[in-house]
Amino acid sequence: MPAIIIVEKLGSIKQVNFKNYDENELYKKGGFKSPEGFKCHTTWTIDMDSKKYTISVYGKTTGKANQENKYEFPPPIDNTLFFGNCVVVKKMESNPNEVVDLSESSWNEIYETLYGGFEDLGDEDTDVDDDDDDDDVPITKTGYAKDGFVVDDDEDVDDDDDDVDDDDEDVDDDEEIPIKPKSKRISKPKSKKTSAIKSIFDLKPIEENTTSNYLDCTSELVEEEYV
């Protein structure tokens, strides 16, 4: 009683025993009422336990809407759209009529092999080792390798200085803003002018006195000329 795999339309996998295997009756195991359109779409040859086997997929590629099978098979049927359930059968390569058990776990392993396998942790370790090769390369203070593609520390310092100068200019611009009111400076000369005007009026009597004194002096000189 060999075991076969039923791939349901929602993508789940189910292991089913086929008591009296008959390839012409496989469509019934797939849940179809009619064998029309039900056929083998691909066959892979694999090596397991030093023996060669064939893995065949049966199904239909025509059907009603919303009956599409969501399972993704390995190439070359990875782009084939199936309808309803599919059936996977394992046989001996040397004797195509000899069907052997295909368990769910065995199919999962075969599935990975047919897809080329998944990435091993050993590959990731190799990538890390490749990165470690850069340890001999000199690095800057910021942790970058001096490989000609990273700006040197001196250039970084110059850029920082430019940034500081720009900041200083911004600060100076901000400090000039509160100095704009000039009304106070205008008010001061007004007070000086008023004080100057007042001093002129105060000096006027002094000018009159000096004038009178000057006249008196001339009168005395005239009298001396007559003597």
List, for residues 157-185, the tens digit of each pLDDT value.
455 555 545 554 454 444 455 555 544 44
Phi first, then psi: give them for residue 129, nearest 5 degrees: -65, -35
Is the same domain home to 87 and 106? yes
Question: What pLDDT, on a 0 to 100 scale, did the predictor assign at position 17?
Answer: 95
Phi first, then psi: give them for residue 108, nearest 5 degrees: -65, -40
Is the same domain home to 11 and 110? yes
Is the same domain home to 131 and 85? no
Q: Measured between alpha carbons, how far is 183 from 187 in angstroms, rounded to an integer? A: 6
Residue 184 tokens, joined: 């106070």
Is the same domain home to 88 and 174? no
Closest by CA to 57, choosing from 10, 13, 19, 1, is 13
Domain span including residue 171: 122-180
Is the same domain home to 25 and 59? yes
Q: How many residues does the chain have?
A: 227
Question: What pLDDT, on a 0 to 100 scale, did the predictor assign at position 208?
Answer: 46
Q: Measured between alpha carbons, how far is 92 from 18 in angstroms, rounded to an integer? A: 16
Question: What pLDDT, on a 0 to 100 scale, did the predictor assign at position 65?
Answer: 94
Is the same domain home to 23 and 106? yes
Q: Quick: pLDDT tens for 126-135.
A: 444 445 555 5
Note the pTM of the prediction, 2 decimals. 0.53
Question: What pLDDT, on a 0 to 100 scale, did the predictor assign at position 1?
Answer: 82
Question: What pLDDT, on a 0 to 100 scale, did the predictor assign at position 133?
Answer: 52
Q: Which residues of the chain are modeled with pLDDT < 70?
A: 117-227
> How many domains, in total, are found in the chain?
3
Question: What pLDDT, on a 0 to 100 scale, did the predictor assign at position 146?
Answer: 59
